[in-house]
Amino acid sequence: MDLSELNGRGLVLLGCGKMGSALLAGWLAHGLQAGAVHVIEPRPSDWLMSTGVHLGGPLPADPAVAVLAVKPQMMGAALPQLAALGGGGTLFISIAAGTGLAVLAAALGEAAPVVRAMPNTPAAVGRGITALIGNDRVDAAGLALAEALMGAVGQVVALESEAQMDAVTGVSGSGPAYVFHLIEALAAAGEAEGLAPELALQLARATVAGAGALAEENGEAPGVLRENVTSPGGTTAAALQVLMDADHGFPPLLRRAVAAAAARSRELGQ
């Protein structure tokens, strides 16, 4: 994937916290020159200052892309900084949860092509996944450009409708936190059975990471992989009897968790 075609017109990045930094690192590794990037970030990190990108203004008059990577609560104050670019020639990509296409277009101009994107934090190690949806001003070339930019940090999927974005937020956007909590809980359970804290955490972290890699690379359905390690009447079966309980196990718990995240995403968009 080569992003060098953006070097002529440039890219504007509004906000460069953890996710913005992960994206920028991916772009620079895939052909985007630091001199073509203009970053607006009130508290630049040492890493950001070392990259050679332009910090602050003046912004290019007609950049190819402007990426909005600020928190949803900051969007109202941030969007006016880029409204001058909303004439139609700049593709806008927003990674703010809950901020809808209509809200973005109202602030940036009805002519602005806008893509909503929901990445997740494994983007920091190039293993993220991003869901995309564009407004009716985004053509095939614009969507391909958005896919190339987000693809620099992991997989990309295109949604059929914006209504799906809240569910995506609940599953993959917030999902890494669920997995990190699983590691915490699994390690704590190991401690309760007599393991030293450091050993329990090492076992839990490696088990979750390894199982995730196996699930992604093996290609078989997760249910099949689960069955492959479950001997009838064995230790795994005993544990799964608890975890798969229809009333108190993982299935109803995760349904409630994802529903809560999706509901909060909808609230942020109101």
Q: What is the bridge-based pairing of β-strands 128-134 and 114-118?
A: antiparallel
Among 74-78, 202-206, 226-230, 261-265, the minimum mean pLDDT is found in 74-78
Q: Categorize the per-residue pLDDT at 11 as very low, low, confident or very high, splitting at 50, 70 and 90.
A: very high
Are residues 117 and 148 in contact, defined by beta-carbon separation less than 8 angstroms? no
How deeply is 183 buried, as exposed, middle or buried, from its count of CB atoms within 10 A (0-12, 13-18, 19+)? middle
**Using omega within 30 degrees of 0 as the cis cutoff, is the peptide bond preceding 58 cis?**
yes
Q: How far apart are CA 226 and CA 251, in angstroms?
A: 15
Going along the chain from its start, the domains and CATH numbers come out as 4-168 (3.40.50.720), 175-268 (1.10.3730.10)
Choose between 82 and 189: higher pLDDT: 189
Q: Where are the beta strands (DSSP E) in 37-137?
A: 37-40, 54-55, 65-68, 91-94, 114-118, 128-134
Q: How far apart are CA 54 and CA 50, in angstroms?
A: 11
Q: How far apart are CA 14 and CA 183, in angstroms?
A: 33
108 φψ region: left (φ > 0), alpha (ψ -120 to 50), beta (else): alpha
Q: Categorize the per-residue pLDDT at 268 as very low, low, confident or very high, splitting at 50, 70 and 90.
A: confident
Structural Rg of the chain based on CA atoms: 21
Q: Categorize the per-residue pLDDT at 1 as very low, low, confident or very high, splitting at 50, 70 and 90.
A: low
Mean pLDDT calculated for residue range 59-82? 86
- pLDDT tens figures, 134-144: 999 999 999 99
Q: What's the start-to-end Cα distance of the chain, in Å?
A: 36
- pLDDT tens figures, 144-167: 999 999 999 999 999 999 999 999
- pLDDT tens figures, 214-264: 999 998 999 999 999 999 999 999 999 999 999 999 999 999 999 999 998
Q: Is the pLDDT of residue 82 over 70?
A: yes
Q: What is the mean pLDDT of the chain?
A: 93
Note the helical H segments in the chain.
Answer: 18-29, 46-50, 75-78, 101-108, 140-150, 165-168, 175-192, 197-218, 222-228, 235-243, 250-268
Q: CA 26, 28, 34 angle in degrees (round to 5)?
A: 145
Q: Which tokens in the block code for residue 104?
A: 């973005």
pTM of the predicted model, to two decimals? 0.90
Are residues 167 and 258 in contact, defined by beta-carbon separation less than 8 angstroms? yes
Measured in residues, the chain has a length of 270
Which pLDDT score is estimated for 148?
Answer: 94
Q: Is the pLDDT of residue 189 over 90?
A: yes
DSSP annotation of 1 = -
